């Protein structure tokens, strides 16, 4: 009898294989223009890593992991990785970067394994392309990830919907959690069996109950419990995304169950791929590095589900049209963008995006830091230029272009910026 492939595992050839590769390649190119560096990690990690990061009560850890002993019988248990973030955080801590050099931007690409019920868009081996930013707390960082996903969407010619929520922080989350517990107790008789156990172990997950959607919709909303700082952060993320032309839909039921997931949570949905409609998911995890034994370094990231995005491309009418084109990467960082003041941040994100579109690699600096720290960071990552946008430049539709190698600075009209940078970079 012929040997067949294992249920939930796929052979890809022909168009589906090319579409998946095309998506991965585009993700890479876009990530590189946003100054992310590749990290390649093992497919096998210790089981505790996922218990502590994905959470013991998550579906992933409870039901979906492929677990086996590391060596001989009785040795420690390891698992095929079900997701990428825990391994990236582990490596970040294990190499000492959390203490030595915490501001890092990584991307990864490769297979993940989850033993869940196979169906269209849901497989036991699937590929994710993910990014993680460490060491940034500013809302502009969150907004830029949404802009980056929008670049990907445009590059693939897709229509996608971006849903967003804020989960609060260690200060405001407890009162929200209390409110949910109170709600759960009041509606105990109406809750499904899963929700009964969620009440004890992970009350936030009441909100994504798929059994009684109406009830979940009437539950308390995290947005009503945000502290002042979380409220301001969320407002700025939304405002910056809107200014960049990225439409967001607030979904109060979008949650991550665990305490170290903070503030921004988002999901990107496609209307073209059936019931498994989430093609990208991400959010902030300011407590995760510390929870895994590292220093208290904030983090945020997202993961693209490559197969689901492939389905969206294959079934979308306009799929494949490329509005954004990215050139290949040769290892340089062309510029850091430094924006001074709220209006300049909004505007500066657009300037950064247009430079990337012209094939340049640009890092948008943390707007909450001092100029000196930003220039130090620029030197450290080897940026040739700092592009500085302030109130005056904004009004004159120009920028200050500072050549960090020659310590020269001049004002350049915006429309000449990309060619000015490329001209100098190419000449040296
Ligand atoms: P879902 O609610 O669909 O199970 P999830 O919350 O488990 O998704 P994440 O762990 O956030 O998903 O993973 C990020 C992305 O990876 C998802 O949005 C999806 O596109 C993709 N993904 C997750 N699980 C699978 C799977 N079993 N098969 C294919 N793609 C998947
Ligand atoms: Mg899942």
105's tokens: 């931007």
* Ligand 1 atom closest to Cα of residue 83: 10
Q: Is 276 in the pocket of ligand 1 (CB under 6 A)?
A: yes
pTM over 0.85: yes
Q: Is 34 in the pocket of ligand 1 (CB under 6 A)?
A: no
User: For the chain, which residues score pLDDT lower than 70?
Assistant: 257, 317-331, 425-428
Tell how far the Cα of 115 is from the centroid of ligand 2, in angstroms.
10
Report the residue among 161, 258, 278 best suited for mutation to probe ligand 1: largest number of ligand atoms under 8 A from its CB: 278
In this structure, the chain runs to a length of 428
Determine the longest span between alpha carbons in the chain, in angstroms: 76
Question: Do 108 and 42 form a contact (C-beta atoms < 8 A)?
Answer: no
Give the chain's end-to-end CA distance (angstroms, integer). 64
> What's the confidence (pLDDT) of residue 233?
98
- Nearest alpha carbon, ligand 1 atom 7: 60
Distance, CA of 226 to CA of 390 (rounded, Å) = 31
Neighbour tally for 273: CB within 10 Å: 23
Tell me the three-class secondary structure of 340-368, residue by residue. Answer: CCHHHHHHHHHHHHHHHHCCCCEEECCCC
Report the residue among 128, 204, 280, 281 best suited for mutation to probe ligand 1: largest number of ligand atoms under 8 A from its CB: 281
Q: Which ligand is nearest to the CA of 63?
A: 2
Q: Is 114 in the pocket of ligand 1 (CB under 6 A)?
A: yes
Distance, CA of 260 to CA of 50 (rounded, Å) = 14
Q: Is 203 in the pocket of ligand 1 (CB under 6 A)?
A: no
Distance, CA of 196 to CA of 198 (rounded, Å) = 5
> What's the confidence (pLDDT) of residue 316?
78
160's tokens: 């996608």
> What's the confidence (pLDDT) of residue 228?
97
- Specify the pairing of strand 383-389 against strand 362-364: unpaired
146: part of which helix (H) or strand (E)?
A: helix 139-156
Q: Which ligand is nearest to the CA of 308?
A: 1
Residue with tokens 């990428």: 84
Q: Which residues contact 189 (CB under 8 A, 6 or more apart)?
A: none
Q: Is 184 in the pocket of ligand 1 (CB under 6 A)?
A: no
Q: Is 205 in the pocket of ligand 1 (CB under 6 A)?
A: no
Tell how far the Cα of 278 is from the centroid of ligand 1, in angstroms.
7
Distance, CA of 138 to CA of 136 (rounded, Å) = 6
Distance, CA of 260 to CA of 164 (rounded, Å) = 17
The stretches of 281-399 forming alpha helices (DSSP H) are 288-291, 306-315, 342-357, 371-380, 391-396
Q: Is 45 in the pocket of ligand 1 (CB under 6 A)?
A: no
Distance, CA of 384 to CA of 376 (rounded, Å) = 12
Tell me the three-class secondary structure of 261-306, residue by residue. Answer: CEEEEEEEECCCCCCCCEEEEEEECCCHHHHCCCCCCCEEEEEEEH
Distance, CA of 310 to CA of 22 (rounded, Å) = 9
Q: Is 305 in the pocket of ligand 1 (CB under 6 A)?
A: yes
Q: Is 123 in the pocket of ligand 1 (CB under 6 A)?
A: yes
Distance, CA of 263 to CA of 143 (rounded, Å) = 12
> What's the confidence (pLDDT) of residue 321?
46
Extended strands (E) in 94-160: 104-113, 125-134
Report the side by side order of strands in the sheet with 362-364. 362-364, 333-339, 383-389, 398-403, 408-413
């Amino acid at each position: 009898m012929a040997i067949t492939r294992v249920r939930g595992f796929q052979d890809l050839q022909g168009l589906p294989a090319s579409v998946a590769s095309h998506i991965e390649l585009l993700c890479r190119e876009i990530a590189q223009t946003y100054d992310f560096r590749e990290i390649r990690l093992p497919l096998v990690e210790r089981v505790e890593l996922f218990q502590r990061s994905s959470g013991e009560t998550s579906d992933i850890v409870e039901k979906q992991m492929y677990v086996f002993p590391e060596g001989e019988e009785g040795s420690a248990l390891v698992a095929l990785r079900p997701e990428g973030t825990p391994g990236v955080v582990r490596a970040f801590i294990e190499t000492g970067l959390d203490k030595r050099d915490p501001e890092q931007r990584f991307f990864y690409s490769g297979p993940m394994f989850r033993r869940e019920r196979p169906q269209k868009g849901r497989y036991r081996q699937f590929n994710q392309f993910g990014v993680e930013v460490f060491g940034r707390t500013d809302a502009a960082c969150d907004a830029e990830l949404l802009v980056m996903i929008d670049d990907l969407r445009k590059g693939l010619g897709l229509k996608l919907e971006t849903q967003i929520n804020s989960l609060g922080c260690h200060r405001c989350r407890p009162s929200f959690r209390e409110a949910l517990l109170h709600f759960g107790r009041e509606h105990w008789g109406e809750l499904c069996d899963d929700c009964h156990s969620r009440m004890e172990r992970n009350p936030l997950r009441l909100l994504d109950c798929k059994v009684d959607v109406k009830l979940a919709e009437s539950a308390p909303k995290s947005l009503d419990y945000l502290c002042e700082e979380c409220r301001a952060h969320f407002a700025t993320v939304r405002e910056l995304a809107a200014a960049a032309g990225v439409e967001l839909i607030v979904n109060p039921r979008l949650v991550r169950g665990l305490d170290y997931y903070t503030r921004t949570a988002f999901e990107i949905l496609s209307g073209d791929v059936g019931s498994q409609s989430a093609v990208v998911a991400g959010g902030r995890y300011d407590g995760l590095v510390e929870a895994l034994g590292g220093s208290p370094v904030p983090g945020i990231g997202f993961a693209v589900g490559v197969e689901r995005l492939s389905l969206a491309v294959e079934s979308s009418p306009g799929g494949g049209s490329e509005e954004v084109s990215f050139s290949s990467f040769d290892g340089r960082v062309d510029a850091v963008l430094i924006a001074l003041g709220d209006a300049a941040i909004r505007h500066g994100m657009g300037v950064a995006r247009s430079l990337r579109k012209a094939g340049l690699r640009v890092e948008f600096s943390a707007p909450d830091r001092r100029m000196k720290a930003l220039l130090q960071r620029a030197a450290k990552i080897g940026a040739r230029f700092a592009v500085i946008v302030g109130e005056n430049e904004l009004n004159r539709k120009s920028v200050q272009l500072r050549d960090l190698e020659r310590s020269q600075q001049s004002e350049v009209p915006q429309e000449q910026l990309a060619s000015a940078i490329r001209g100098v970079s190419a000449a040296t």
